[in-house]
Amino acid sequence: MTAQTILFIVIAAVVALAIVIFMYGYKTKYTGKLRWVFGALRFITLFSLFLLLINPKLKQQNLSIEKPKLSVLVDNSGSIASLEMEEGLRSLVEGLENHNELQEKFDVRFFAFGDAFGPLDTLQFLAKQTNIEEALNKTDELFGDEIAPTVLLSDGNQTYGRDYEFGSRNYSSAIYPMVIGDSTQYTDLKIEQLNTNRYSFLKNEFPVEVILVYNGKSAVDSRFVIQQGGSMIYSEEVTFSEENNSRTLSFTIPSSRVGLQRYRATIRPISEEKNQTNNSKNFAVEVIDEATNILIVSDILHPDMGAFKKAIETNEQRKVTFMEPRDAGAVINDYQLIILNQPNRSFSQIYVEVAKLNKNTLTLTGAQTDWNFLNSVQSYYEKLATSQSEQVSGTFNPNYGAYSMEEIEFSDFSPLETEFGELLFSVPHDVILNQTIDGFTTGSPLLATWELNGKRDAIWDGQGIWKWRAQSFLQTESFEDFDAFLGKLIQYLASNKRRSRLDVTYDTFYYNNNPVVISAQYFDNNFVFDNRAQLNIRVKNAETDEITEFPMLLKNNYYLVDLNSLPAGDYSFTVSVEEEAVARSGNFTILEYNVEQQFLNANVTKLRQVATNSGGELFYADQLEGLIGTLLSNESYKPIQKSNQKVVPLIDWKYLLGLIALSLAAEWFIRKYNGLI
């Protein structure tokens, strides 16, 4: 408290005492003990009230002991079961949970990881993927600024994600890996990787690349074959040795039938192999009759054109062709979608042909667009441009309803360049991206679509889209998100299929180690997305005739169901809307591939390197006591005493209010008891 506050308290005490002396010492009708009792109670009341008015602030200091954190990351993936280490790992977890000295020294936190990371609940070893790097990264985010060693109970086999060996170099605390599984190196042949396209065109050939790996010391011979049904369609003899322990085979397979074509690749096992699961892999290719041909018409060179081509052709069903306006008019009928880049008067014939053939279009505008020409050549929209450019950003419209899409944080991307002016529509349209400047919406769309008389069109009013694709890669280390966003726009525009109240999106085949996702959109009679509907999907296994029903969950502007619980096989499905006579059906296939069963033993090399990179130490599954002893004896892991000083106003002190109430109640009771009131 300050000197001024102490002075006020002293004055308050003097004033309270003076009032009491005046009331019960100078002018009073009470005598004897009552006068002293009433005087004391009144002094307490008055002085307490004065203290509340002064409201001095008191400093309260609390001391607490904080134990160092100990994170235990437990591998809950299928590879632990494949290595037959389930009970051994459960025993290790139980030993750490029940060790009194360890619990006394550390604040022990248990986490499980596989294809997801979270607090440890039960160990079932059902995860179909393993991402050790994500588990380490999230643990570092949780406890990176504290003393928090990490125990990693894993076989060290990661199936996706960034390499955890290199990521561990930036880890804040020491990592103590404990090797789960056999570290013995067995003789083994396996298909390390198989690469092929998802789609092929009829009467073409699709490429296949296979990487075969051999673990062993003596030279061996085997045969690699690909079968379709009972027929062998490719075969090759392969030889391996300790020095030449890998082979890459590249070949093509003809596409002779339309539809989903399933294949099985096999490297024939040698006699002493322990694990033969990794000798085979199923894959599939969908053979389609024709490609979606897209024409980009432009008379300028711009990086946006390259970005569009790259993004569109990530889907092998689509092919992009570039032409100048003077050459494109005669071939427009050969394409399903025409992309018009920065139109000017040289596009006059193009617009005539587009209107005559009723072709769908995507118009890209920017600083070099001739808006006087564009306003006159079509009647859907206009822009009173001023020949001055401006920088605009885009924000995603979650209520866009023409088709389902995942949101991307476009507002964080670099601005696009466009001509200054408001874009006005004369037809009903749906906005995908709203135009913003410095975070404020201008009311003008940046990207919009519309559909009239079976013809679909769109406009993207901004150039510099190549920067967005590059920035998406920098943020996610993949072009996938941006390419998927643009791919759905292209798919919508390239199709003349009549719009339905219930649209269902799905793939014809899935691998069972990846998400099996089906999405749907349902619209009311006015084709406005209905987020109150109840959608269900009924799935039937073609082999067993088993029928399973799932509810579809609402997410943003579409309904979604994850069918990862289904086993591999062929399925038919029907999506229906409750209390509505609307339904859509389809077929899909789930291909068997369990990447977690591909491992023979624990990856000791990587786990040891993780320990070295982080300053920890490697242990094996039979060295639990050694691990605990190392953690207990490490003087770096000590509890920290923390002092927390808190300033508390006296008015928050409830005891003082209680004292006032008690003194007033006591005074009233004594007066009542003595018949004075």
| Minimum mean pLDDT range among 17-31, 495-509, 540-554, 603-617 | 17-31
End-to-end CA distance of the chain: 41
- pLDDT reported for residue 27: 64
- pLDDT reported for residue 249: 95
Question: Would you say residue 16 has pLDDT above 90?
Answer: no
Position 652 confidence tier, pLDDT thresholds 50, 70, 90? low
Question: The CATH number of the domain where 119 resides is what?
Answer: 3.40.50.410
Position 643 confidence tier, pLDDT thresholds 50, 70, 90? low
Between 549 and 581, where is the model more confident?
549
For 420-430, what is each residue's pLDDT tens digit?
888 999 999 99
- pLDDT reported for residue 26: 67
Domain that holds residue 553: 502-595
Between 119 and 663, where is the model more confident?
119
Position 344 confidence tier, pLDDT thresholds 50, 70, 90? very high
Question: Would you say residue 549 has pLDDT above 90?
Answer: yes
- pLDDT reported for residue 645: 67
Same domain? 426 vs 476: yes
Same domain? 585 vs 606: no
DSSP letter assigned to residue 170: G
For 351-379, what is each residue's pLDDT tens digit?
999 999 999 999 999 989 999 999 999 99
For 145-194, what is each residue's pLDDT tens digit?
788 899 999 999 998 888 899 888 888 889 999 999 887 777 889 998 89
Same domain? 245 vs 365: no
Same domain? 153 vs 33: no
CA 677 centroid distance within chain = 74
- pLDDT reported for residue 557: 81
Position 38 confidence tier, pLDDT thresholds 50, 70, 90? confident
Position 415 confidence tier, pLDDT thresholds 50, 70, 90? very high
> What is the pLDDT averaged over residues 12-29?
76
Position 442 confidence tier, pLDDT thresholds 50, 70, 90? confident
Question: The CATH number of the domain where 362 resides is what?
Answer: 3.40.50.880
Same domain? 435 vs 411: yes
- pLDDT reported for residue 60: 67
Same domain? 342 vs 268: no
Same domain? 177 vs 272: no
Same domain? 269 vs 390: no
Residue recorded with tokens 């135009």: 435
Rounded Cα gap, residues 178 and 72, in angstroms = 10
Check: CB of residue 16 under 8 Å from CB of residue 641.
Answer: no
Counting Cα atoms < 13 Å in the Cβ hemisphere of 382 gives: 9
Q: Measuring CA to CA, which residue among 418, 421, 356, 412 is closest to residue 382?
A: 421
In SS3 terms, 120-165 reads as CCCCCCCECCCCHHHHHHHHHHHHCCCCCCEEEEECCCCCCCCCHH
What are the structure tokens assigned to 499, written together? 């719009």
Question: Would you say residue 647 has pLDDT above 80?
Answer: no
Q: CA separation (Å) from 608 to 114, 160, 472, 473? A: 20, 20, 35, 32
DSSP letter assigned to residue 268: P
Same domain? 368 vs 457: yes
Last residue of some domain: 494, 518, 550? Answer: 494
Residue recorded with tokens 């199923």: 282
Rounded Cα gap, residues 561 and 586, in angstroms = 15
| Full-model pTM | 0.60
Question: Would you say residue 2 has pLDDT above 80?
Answer: no
Same domain? 575 vs 447: no
For 584-593, what is each residue's pLDDT tens digit?
999 999 988 7
Q: Are strands 205-215 and 188-196 parallel, antiparallel or unpaired?
A: antiparallel
DSSP 3-state of 373:
helix
- pLDDT reported for residue 29: 66
- % of the chain beyond a pLDDT of 70: 95
Position 30 confidence tier, pLDDT thresholds 50, 70, 90? low
Q: What is the average pLDDT score of the chain? A: 87
What are the structure tokens assigned to 222, written together? 């085997």
Rounded Cα gap, residues 383 and 319, in angstroms = 32
Q: What share of the chain is helix, strand, coil (3-state, %, to 5)?
A: 30, 35, 35
CB atoms within 10 A of CB 385: 21
- pLDDT reported for residue 398: 83
Same domain? 473 vs 532: no
For 379-392, what is each residue's pLDDT tens digit?
999 998 777 889 99
As to burial, measured by CB atoms within 10 angstroms (0-12 exposed, 13-18 middle, 19+ buried), residue 456 is: buried
For 486-535, what is each residue's pLDDT tens digit?
988 998 898 876 667 888 988 888 988 788 999 998 987 767 788 889 99
Residue recorded with tokens 């002016």: 421
- pLDDT reported for residue 144: 76
Last residue of some domain: 437, 471, 494? Answer: 494
- pLDDT reported for residue 178: 95
Q: Measuring CA to CA, which residue among 439, 428, 418, 292 is closest to residue 366?
A: 418
Between 330 and 387, where is the model more confident?
330
Q: CA separation (Å) from 628 to 92, 103, 147? A: 11, 11, 17
Question: The CATH number of the domain where 512 resides is what?
Answer: 2.60.40.10
Check: CB of residue 450 under 8 Å from CB of residue 427.
Answer: yes
Following DSSP, what letter does each residue of 33-83 receive, concatenated? HHHHHHHHHHHHHHHHHHHHHH--EEEEEEEEEEPPEEEEEEE-BHHHHHT
- pLDDT reported for residue 222: 94
Strands of the sheet containing 558-562, edge to edge, are: 502-505, 517-522, 558-562, 553-555
The contacts of residue 491 (CB under 8 Å, 6+ apart) are: 403
Question: Would you say residue 628 has pLDDT above 80?
Answer: yes
Q: Are strands 69-75 and 107-113 parallel, antiparallel or unpaired?
A: parallel
DSSP 3-state of 440:
strand
Domains contained in the chain, number: 5
Last residue of some domain: 237, 272, 288? Answer: 288
As to burial, measured by CB atoms within 10 angstroms (0-12 exposed, 13-18 middle, 19+ buried), residue 673 is: exposed
Position 110 confidence tier, pLDDT thresholds 50, 70, 90? very high
Check: CB of residue 656 under 8 Å from CB of residue 48.
Answer: yes
The contacts of residue 517 (CB under 8 Å, 6+ apart) are: 506, 560, 561, 562, 563
Question: Would you say residue 463 has pLDDT above 80?
Answer: yes
- The helix/strand count (H/E) of the chain reads as 16, 36
For 192-217, what is each residue's pLDDT tens digit?
889 998 888 888 889 999 999 998 88
Check: CB of residue 458 under 8 Å from CB of residue 361.
Answer: yes
- pLDDT reported for residue 531: 86
> What is the pLDDT averaged over residues 641-654?
68
Same domain? 110 vs 163: yes
Q: Per DSSP, what are the bridge partners of residue 74?
A: 112, 153
Between 27 and 462, where is the model more confident?
462
Question: Would you say residue 336 has pLDDT above 80?
Answer: yes
Position 600 confidence tier, pLDDT thresholds 50, 70, 90? confident
